[in-house]
Structure 1
């Protein structure tokens, strides 16, 4: 039986980070991946294809929008198939970074197949070959959740794993679930000509975002698609090429007809069939329960990425992978921290999230917080771009330490990176005021928030009185 220092099950973002990091530091590593290619959900069904699709849809949208602004006429419908070909090209190019050859060159032994834990240190591959490792890292990701709606399976539907195979935009598209992925894809299909309806069980979207951010992005999205809130879908019936959806909204039963359905009703962890419960690993709602060191209750087994249910983002999985390399390979206890991990929803406008919302900050720190807001209408670059829809909001404690930062606006995920750095490095909001920002840039919005901090600090309280006395004496 071949023995390893680390066995990684799953070749997505978290698993590849662990495998490459451990191998680079001299560990003997085995990597097991069930698919023929590495890269996981992010590369093949998630981040990469969705952003390629979003960009194509945005280009189409801007073409019609710009033509109208300048009195030009654009006719026709953009071919969805062309966008999907661009999606495949993007995957192909990025696949080279996650090629099997690259990881083999690092000295990693690759196994194609499904892993099953026979013991806390032994993994069986495809029920044939068994290998042994001092440490095992679960990085098996997640898959779309299929809600138990009567007739749904028979009627058929799309998920993020199948939607990029669509050749023609459906005339009437229903999106079940108003989560980030569903909203991104809904808007993109709308821009390719689909009449999109989103049905959401809650009373609004973006439940994890700051309350002042949500109305702004919702108003913009409602210009391109229809929302139905507080909805419970009862059944789906297929008749010829149409799908009849029966649902209840606010106590009223209704029916609507669609040509296609896209599911965006959450994710399920890929822990079934791994043998985790048999070897004593604790699961909660299917997720591997981990401690602050990303270690399960079985000391030899760790879990990173979607499978642990902590922070289901690709960049978070990569961060977790680095923590596990430190803990599993060297045994140097390093805790995982999500305080400085941002996320972005790539709708148009984009929504950026970092740290605590205002409500969360008040629950934690009481009234001892400060809130600084800047509307993009007050930032020259947004005005000159003729795209002045959005808001920046920064929450700090009384001393200016950044507790949270939130934004909605065009390309917010890009111009908010400065504050991500500031928070991670322990800089206070006031420090950004001393950074010279080229004029005019979108990032100047953060400097304006920082200037607010100093205006409040300098022009309120005792400082103005002391300054006034000093100036009189100096004269």
Structure 2
């Protein structure tokens, strides 16, 4: 067995692990990277990238059926589901070189394609190698959670990992789980010609603002998607092509295919963490604010550390670790400025506190500013007027923003910047947006905050009156 000594050992070549490896090696550290499966991890191969590519296919197909509003005849699209999956694979293939073993080896990272497991507090075994590292970063991500529904283990079902190998369009896709993955895939498949039923035990899109989530759900239902909320699955039965899901209360939903999208579980099972003195909790590996585990020389980042499970969070965590492990500087991760988006149509995006959370935390001191898309000229020109933005403001400073509508995932970027840097509404109001753009929605929201203060203020009117009477 070859013994390797290194400054940084990264376990997992997903988004977070690759970011740590690339940053550390380019700053002069020696780096070993372990990856048992595919480079790029879940995001590139099974998650963010393929899902957005399939959503794009669905969007094109749907646009063909909605052309009349623009003076063009509606067309019934001829969907080739297998070709759409080829498009998905083509997108993955185009991005893959950035995450490839060859690229990272060219940077100077030693890449070992083997599973890593701890054999002591400072040593990790991977295949024929024993690796001793000054710092270890666990970035093994998460996998689809398979709930203990009776019968599910005997019925063929898909997850976000196996969905992409399906080449034949589902006739009727049943989806257990009404979170972002479930709703995105529901709309994409409906637009590509499948019947779709979503079965959610609580409230669909339950982590988002209920008012804004309701706008998305209304659109999805309008497109023909059946969404059963407060329908807890209690049994799954059937065979390939004829699957039944029975829920509490006795209702039965029937379809040809089943997608399970109820959440994620941290990938920790094969790491032998106890040998390194690393504790785990319900959500994953226990970490402190600096992302250190109970073994002070080991960090955990991204999904495996619990908390918000987004690719951009893993990238953010990577920056925290680089600051701490490479430079010895204090660095603490926080979540208050982390945005997220659900890429349905319309999109749904959030950063900071929702209206409910802000009022619960700050009471009557919070102002809620609203601006609707139907007052945005670009949205009107493109027939994209469904949506609104809500900004929760505490003494002039935004503490949360919720957006539903066209390009909500793009619009939330500005507010993520505002919250991360503790800027105020005046800074957004001072911005000049090009006309006509959807981005004006953000500036108009800031304007809606200041308008009552300017146009309804008696003091302002008195000052203006004085100036007009007495100044030349």
Partner SS for 2:103: helix
Provide Cα deviations, 1:171-222, integer angstroms capped at 9, x if missing partner.
11110000101110111011111111100010x2222222331221111111
Match of 2:430 in 1: 434
CA distance change for structure 1 residues 437 and 377 in 2, over 3 Å: closer, same or farther?
Answer: same
- Distance in 1 (CA, whole Å) between partners of 2:21 and 2:414 is 30
- Distance in 1 (CA, whole Å) between partners of 2:63 and 2:77 is 14
Does residue 85 of structure 1 match 2:86? yes
Matches within 5 A, 1:234-313: 234-239=234-239, 241-248=241-248, 252-285=249-282, 287-313=284-310
Aligned length: 468
Contact 1:271–1:286 (Cα < 8 Å) also in 2? no
Does residue 62 of structure 1 match 2:59? no
Match of 1:132 in 2: 132
Does residue 187 of structure 1 match 2:187? yes
Match of 2:410 in 1: 414
Match of 1:101 in 2: 102
CA distance change for structure 1 residues 104 and 239 in 2, over 3 Å: closer, same or farther?
Answer: closer
Match of 2:215 in 1: 216
Contact 1:77–1:193 (Cα < 8 Å) also in 2? no
Contact 2:208–2:354 (Cα < 8 Å) also in 1? yes
Provide Cα deviations, 1:130-154, integer angstroms capped at 9, x if missing partner.
1100111100000000011121121
- Distance in 1 (CA, whole Å) between partners of 2:463 and 2:210 is 39
Partner SS for 2:334: coil
Does residue 444 of structure 1 match 2:448? no
Deviation larger for 325-334 or 462-471: 462-471
Match of 1:164 in 2: 164
Deviation larger for 180-189 or 324-333: 324-333
Q: Alpha-carbon deviation of 1:73?
A: 5.0
Match of 2:25 in 1: 23
Q: Alpha-carbon deviation of 1:348?
A: 0.5
- Distance in 2 (CA, whole Å) between partners of 1:461 and 1:112 is 71
Contact 1:5–1:329 (Cα < 8 Å) also in 2? no
- Distance in 1 (CA, whole Å) between partners of 2:416 and 2:150 is 44
Match of 2:356 in 1: 359
Provide Cα deviations, 1:16-70, integer angstroms capped at 9, x if missing partner.
11111111111111100011x4101000000111110000110011011115764
Deviation larger for 373-382 or 360-369: 360-369
Q: Alpha-carbon deviation of 1:320?
A: 0.4
TM (norm. structure 1) is: 0.95
Contact 2:33–2:110 (Cα < 8 Å) also in 1? yes
Partner SS for 2:211: coil
Structure 1: runs of 5+ lacking an equivalent: none
CA distance change for structure 1 residues 134 and 461 in 2, over 3 Å: closer, same or farther?
Answer: farther
- Distance in 1 (CA, whole Å) between partners of 2:279 and 2:465 is 65
TM (norm. structure 2) is: 0.95
Match of 1:388 in 2: 385
- Distance in 2 (CA, whole Å) between partners of 1:363 and 1:394 is 15
Structure 2: runs of 5+ lacking an equivalent: none
Does residue 44 of structure 1 match 2:45? yes
Contact 2:122–2:276 (Cα < 8 Å) also in 1? no
Deviation larger for 59-68 or 171-180: 59-68
Match of 1:321 in 2: 318
Q: Alpha-carbon deviation of 1:76?
A: 5.5
Q: Alpha-carbon deviation of 1:167?
A: 1.3
- Distance in 2 (CA, whole Å) between partners of 1:239 and 1:316 is 39
- Distance in 2 (CA, whole Å) between partners of 1:429 and 1:311 is 26
Deviation larger for 437-446 or 266-275: 437-446
- Distance in 1 (CA, whole Å) between partners of 2:44 and 2:427 is 37
Q: Alpha-carbon deviation of 1:337?
A: 2.1
